[in-house]
Amino acid sequence: MGILLTETTMSIAERKTREKQKRINAILDAAEEVFFGGDGLTASMDEVASLAEVSKGTLYLYFKNKESLYLGIGVRANKVALDYLQIGINRGEKGIDKVLEAVKSYNEFARKYPHYFRLKSFSDEIANRPFREGSDDPQMDLCMESGMACGRALAGAIESGILDGTIRSDIDPMTTTLLIWSQSNGVIKLIESKGMHLKERMGIDPDKLFEAFQKFVHRSIAA
């Protein structure tokens, strides 16, 4: 009888968890449509609640404000970015190859999911504001953790390269990860915002520019 009661209780708890996640996903789906479909800065929580078909009370139960919604979408963006990084890492045989393929895959992520790429920078900025470290918003912790997972994946690839001798042993994996990460974002943003200018005014092929960046990374870290 006790076992049956425990199983019933677990079943109810699991159902509630699934229903909660379903509501959260519906809200985030609506938020993406509202924010990415127009001017996200002027979009309102009312619009998101209406599109998600939930009350404002339910919306605020899971997301405290628009920044919280941005963080929630940022978690999604980080998870997709991590999937692409892992695909690249798995393509490489040696550590140096894993890193270069990860950089290439991250660029593929940015091209296929431009809205996620742009929002990642914004959500990272929100999640890392020093004065918000004491915030009780669970979306902030989730966003920071999902972003750190991307960093750990790339750092792991660098560590494997140090171990197999294809990457310099005098570099710190996490420091190098941060440098590659920030430089990758910078080059991708440059290509995205000034690609036409680079091509027509400077004679630089945007695709060739990213290939040059990959070679730059290779020369910087290769043993």
Residue among 74, 3, 65, 6 nearest 36 (CA): 74
Amino acid 134: pLDDT:
55
Beta bridge partners of 167: 222
pLDDT at 131 (0 to 100): 45
Q: What is the reported pLDDT for 135?
A: 64
Q: Please, what are the domains in the chain? A: 1-63 (1.10.10.60), 67-221 (1.10.357.10)
| Cα-based distances in Å from 22 to 50, 51, 79, 88, 122 | 16, 15, 18, 31, 25
Residue 40 has pLDDT above 80, yes or no: no
* pLDDT over threshold 90, residue 121: no
Distance CA 23, CA 58 (A): 9
Residue with tokens 């290769």: 222
